[in-house]
Amino acid sequence: MITASEGTRGGDCLSEEHLAAYLENLLDGIEKDKTEEHLSKCKACRQQSIVFSKVRSGILKEALLKAPRVLTDRAKQLVDQPQAKDWIEVILKFTKDSITVLKDTASVIKPLEALPIAVRQGMTAEAKNSVFLSKIFNDVEVDIIIEHIDNESCEIEVRTIEASTSNPLENIRLNLVCEGKELASYLTEKGRAYFKNLDFDIYTLVIIKGQVIIGEILLRLESAQ
């Protein structure tokens, strides 16, 4: 049963114990569905789940046996960081020959003609079944190209640019999270990073500059098949 936790998060938020059980895949199907629905709507709990997932991964890598104390200490340090300045949601439905925009909370979807000419010229006919998103977070322009590969998968290319100079930005951390678990984490190289062979699902792209989360983009990618 979903329970509320006390503290800075709201009274309807998930408890730390509940989040831990979810990340350990200990919930039954109904509770898992309720948890994922809550995470898709609640920024605070989503942030907490990302923290716990990262801490858990670190603990496993370091082979630490006293997990509860380490988990608490490291989680507190991360939670005390400034919260994301912006959070937006985009819902896309992919069919064989088209992409339908079901929701765009911040008008981030742009026409493909807005892509740099060099990029558009390099796209194949198949690759043109794509959608282009662009958003500025703290002078960091984040451009996202979501390409429909086949009936079961897609690819995401992310470009980070300094908005004031239009120069590519190196070492912007991009975390891709699904169901509260971090799937991949990359630092941009020459202002680019790629997430390939992604199933149609619900993802959160977390954008981090230095040690600060400057933005989050919730991507709901649905297949009409």
Strands 212-223 and 86-94: parallel
Give residues with Cβ within 8 angstroms of 130, minimum separation 6: 99, 112, 123, 145, 146, 147, 148
- Dihedral through CA 133, CA 149, CA 98, CA 113, nearest 10? 40
| 100 half-sphere exposure, CB direction, 13 A CA radius | 8
pLDDT for 177-211, tens place per residue?
Answer: 998 889 999 999 999 999 999 999 999 999 999 88
pLDDT for 61-120, tens place per residue?
Answer: 554 444 455 555 555 554 444 444 467 899 998 887 778 889 988 889 888 777 766 565
Name the residue ranges covered by the structural domains of the chain. 16-79, 86-223
Report whether pLDDT(26) > 80.
Answer: no
pLDDT, greater one: 173 or 224: 173
pLDDT reported for residue 2:
41
Beta bridge partners of 220: 91, 202
Please name which of 123, 145, 125 lies closest in space to residue 133, comparing C-alpha atoms. Answer: 145
